[in-house]
Structure 1
Amino acid sequence: MKNIVFLIISLSLIVTISCSSDGDSNTQQITLSQDEVNDLKFLREEEKLARDVYIYAYDKYSDVVFNNISQSEQQHMDKILVLLNTYNVEDPALPNTGEFSNQILQGIYNDLTAQVDISLIEALKVGATIEDLDIKDIENFENRTDKSNILNTYEKLKCGSRNHMRNYYNQLSNNGVTYVVQFISASELTTIINSSNEQCGN
């Protein structure tokens, strides 16, 4: 698990400082900053990672929570794709499940699915970890854009991730396990788990 967290932290640093060479059209450069382009492309694949890991977990354990949330993650992917298309940004998402353009995300997927293989409890921990990271990343991305359509989508994705976190946290709690927060603050997690599921809109 420590190796997975190290990979994730390293990836977050790379995303923060990277300057992608993709998207060289004049229209895109005028419309979006490079940070905004990088963040949207990264988030498209991060949502795919969540979806693909949950599909893998559902195939292994047939727990409906993974099936339900994987479908929600597909909706998150679709929302980011709308933004990519709006700004003429190339979609980095590969068509096959479990395959990623970003090789660090590929490594994280491999590590997380290996953890899923251990047990259902470990698979639920993986789910909580993914949502924990997703919320934190989106909060960081919100600080790098002022575009209302992007911010609106980010808020909807965060809302969905909070609901997912509640589901995974409660599943773990029902099995006598307490999830230990890794990315967002402990107080933010407490606020999430002590509140009801939200209506996140379309």
Structure 2
Amino acid sequence: PTETAMPPTSRAFLARLLHGARNALLVGGIAVSVGFTLGVAAGLLAGYLGRHWDGALSLLMEALYALPGLLLALLLAALMGPGIYSSMLAVGLSMVPAFFRVARAGAMALKAAPFVEAALALGAPPGWVMRRHLLPNLLGPLLVQASLAFAAALLAEAALSYLGLGVQPPNPSLGRMLREAQSFLPLSPYPALVPGLALSLAVLGFNLLGDGLRDRLDPRR
């Protein structure tokens, strides 16, 4: 085989693997932050204010939830061009409905609590009540959702990079390493095995973290 068809050396492969993992964590962190911020804000407004706010925001979230993440990534790639920023935005927007549902359900359950009614009786505005009373009491389930969403974001980023819509060359990514490793499989399996194993362990770790946070933050325990 020619030199271009040979698998990379161990040192170059390790460097690409570490940089690809860093890019995956960066995309996952920004995407979860986008989904968390937009979803929690919309969920608190819909759950606490209700009426027209609840109807409009719930309809918007249902429309966003019905839009596949890959189709949303294709749309953003057409508008912004394929790259790390469009993949961050696409993965983040696909996570907004999940955070919205958690925040909305919690706000609806807590808005009739005695401490909320006491704050309203003292003249506290709705924004202050949501920020000082509702949000701190919802951090437990929201953190659990964030850890699970991070694992999903890693898989989504790898899928987008595999299809050429995520991180672009020369920046490495785990998804593109898996795609490039297909041509090396007859020569050596490790260019495909190692990135896949790293991605699987990262997803497993964040899922286990979510399970641990759920058990730790459950008030019934």
TM-score grouping bracket, smaller chain normalisation: 0.3 to 0.5
The structure with the largest helix share of the pair is: 2
TM-score, structure 2 normalization: 0.32
Point out which structure has higher relative CO (alpha carbons under 8 A, 6+ apart): 2
TM-score, structure 1 normalization: 0.35
